[in-house]
A and B are shown apart, each in its own frame.
Chain A
Amino acid sequence: MMRLELVKRPQRSALFSVLSPFIAFALTMIAGAVLFALLGVNPLEAFNIYFIQPVSEVWQLHELAIKAAPLILIAVGLSVCYKANIWNIGAEGQFILGGIFGSIIPVLFPEFEGPLVLPLMLLLGMVGGALYAAIPALLKTRFSTNEILTSLMLVYVAQLFLDWLVRGPWRDPQGHGFPQTIQFGDSAVLPELMPDAGRANWGFVFALVAAIAIWLMMSRMLKGFEVRVLGSSPRAGRFAGFGFNKMVFFTFLLSGALAGLAGISEVSGAIGQLQPVISPGYGFTAIIVAFLGRLNPLGIVAAGLVLALTYLGGEAVQSALGISDKVARVFQGMLLFFVLGCDTLIHYRIRLIGFAAPKLEAAPKLEEAR
């Protein structure tokens, strides 16, 4: 019988810190091959359909950008939370509230048109997401209520609230009873970047700008330093005069606003109206994106594209091979597992030890030699 033993590295390994996402991706591929083989599909053929074909033409790259935009926007916000050791896992709800708040103008005041409409919608979307995120922040700072559970419960509430809106007061009276709002007017639709080439809209630009801005904040500004200090050592942060409660609000409002922006961008750009369901779980997948990107905004851009590909690939294998598109979720879950596992290599060396084997004498000497 074998057993794992972790040996702490004297310093974090720079090598594995770069390599670990790639190792994780390779392991996911191997596990995926096994999964496809179990489903009775030739893994190579499945991989071709899953990972290569969905990005082999220009218009498909636009689809990739559409899926990646919300993931990146949400994940860069979440990365700041997680760096500060604050656990907002309700981004899905903040995304929905962003979509709802941003839709106030096109749904309730459709006659209001012009160049002002879109900026106002985006602003309202951010406000909606931030306000919704303020609830768990307030409960955490006032009553020290666990933010993981409250932010998650609010996701269910947001989904039901949206469902009620589009079936009730906001339903399109001319919509033949379908649960959806009116189609947004032209001035309320997020423009496409290159309409001739594909459907990608300004949401992707927002995502890139947000990633760069947050990267600058985290690496070049005092606020980023504050986040990192409070995250790794709250005590040291307190001595430095950084307020923990302020940080809770800052991270929740920031990530909520970005999730809200993602929500209204999705509704106004990709969908064009409110429906009972406006997200295929972007808020949860973004958690995976944040970790796969090593909580680094630039890494998150790359990770967002990879995870967007898992969505497209899921749709592709469903139509080509008749496999449930839930396979995308499985890939995403496995990827996060392997990323977390590989991250262990950054701080520890892993040794396999046989139970019966005598203690290795050489090991301590090796460490002394360093």
Chain B
Amino acid sequence: MDITVNILLTIATAATPLLIAAIGELVVERSGVLNLGVEGMMIMGAVGGFGAGYLTGSPWIGLLAAIIVGALFSLLFAVMTLSLATNQVATGLSLTLLGLGLSGMIGTSFVGQPGVRLPNLDIPGLSSIPVVGRLIFGQDPLFYISIALTAAVMWFLFKTRTGLTLRSIGDSHSSAHALGIKVIRYRYLAVIFGGACAGLAGGHLSLVYTPQWVENMSAGRGWIALALVVFASWRPWRVLAGAYIFGAVWIGQLHAQAFGIPVPSQFLSSLPYLATIVVLVLISRNKRLTMMNTPASLGQPFVPDR
């Protein structure tokens, strides 16, 4: 029983950064912007979070720094694609390349240093209830934040007027503009929200998942988060499900390696990436469903006329 609980807990820990980053990117893509820089923003959040936590000794300040660094880094993308109307695919890629380089440079002095870890929630009495106690009341704070974030984004997108406006911009920026909606302003806010989420996800990696700084420690999670958004057909609760499926794959292969299953460890390590491809194929082969759900203006630059 204890083993099951432990495995479930590690799955949640592996799924949380994917979920946070993907939820942020979902809002960005719902506004019609494709930001391929998730991996770069995530790794910048990770190094910023680790650095601030290491220097101040406070994981909470680290977490805050991760969010701010991610948001600032996404601002770069926003200025380029929204104010200068650059190609979103190329700009997103360059954000990732820049992030991987910059984080490696900033993090040189952090390699091998002991980090700080966000403490798990511990409610006396409740957290020690057998089985469910630790699952519900004993996880790291970001687990709760990620669930709350998903619910909040769901509510925002589908139950508020602003959310409706955001979705309308994603489906047709010209019509939204003609109605007097500030398309660029909405998109700026969406991109910065996505950056803050990616930064937070990176902070989870360096402050909870493995509280240390390792170069390229995001290991493609930003890209998997991007795939999750497609997999989820741009729906928050499906992102939640997808993140947990991927968390399970990630943890499953680690456990399989630990159990000494006679399969090369490299093959097991490649499973999350292969699973991403398989899942993308499964979801995209239904062309009508994909077409129906994709924000129609996704990835197209918009220059408002006067």
Contact = CB atoms under 8 A, between A and B. Distances in A.
Given A152-B223, A157-B273, A288-B97, A324 B104 contact: yes
Contact of A329 (B100, B269, B280): B100
Interface in A261-275: none
Interface string A314-349: 000000000110111111111011001101100010
A146 interface: yes
Given A145-B280, A149-B226, A164-B266, A89 B93 contact: yes
Interface of A: 4, 6, 8, 82, 87, 89, 139, 142-146, 148-150, 152-154, 156-157, 160-161, 163-164, 167-168, 284-285, 287-288, 291, 323-324, 326-334, 336-337, 340-341, 343-344, 348, 350
A334 B98 contact: yes
Contacts of B270: 156-157, 160-161
Closest 9 CB pairs of A and B: A329-B101, A333-B98, A326-B104, A164-B266, A336-B94, A326-B105, A143-B285, A160-B266, A324-B108
A327 B107 CA distance: 12
B161 interface: no
A145 B93 contact: no
Contacts of B303: 6, 8, 348
Contact of A330 (B84, B102, B269): B102
Nearest to B92: A148
A156 B97 contact: no
Given A156-B270, A157-B273, A340 B90 contact: yes
Chain B contact residues: helix, strand, loop or mixed: helix
14 contacts: A4-B83, A6-B83, A143-B285, A144-B284, A144-B287, A145-B284, A153-B223, A153-B274, A156-B273, A287-B90, A330-B98, A333-B95, A337-B91, A344-B84
Interface in B256-286: 264, 266-267, 269-270, 273-274, 276-277, 280-281, 284-285
B249 interface: no
B86 A344 contact: yes
Most buried by B among A8, A139, A333: A333
A333 B96 CA distance: 8
B101 A328 contact: yes
Contact of A148 (B87, B89, B104, B220): B89
Nearest to B86: A340
B97 A333 contact: yes
A348 B83 CA distance: 11
Contact of B94 (A146, A167, A337): A337
B3 to A, nearest CB: 27
Given A87-B89, A145-B281, A340-B91, A326 B36 contact: no
A2 to B, nearest CB: 11
B151 interface: no
Most buried by A among B102, B230, B269, B277: B277
B80 A149 contact: no
Nearest to A350: B84
A232 to B, nearest CB: 13
B227 A149 contact: yes
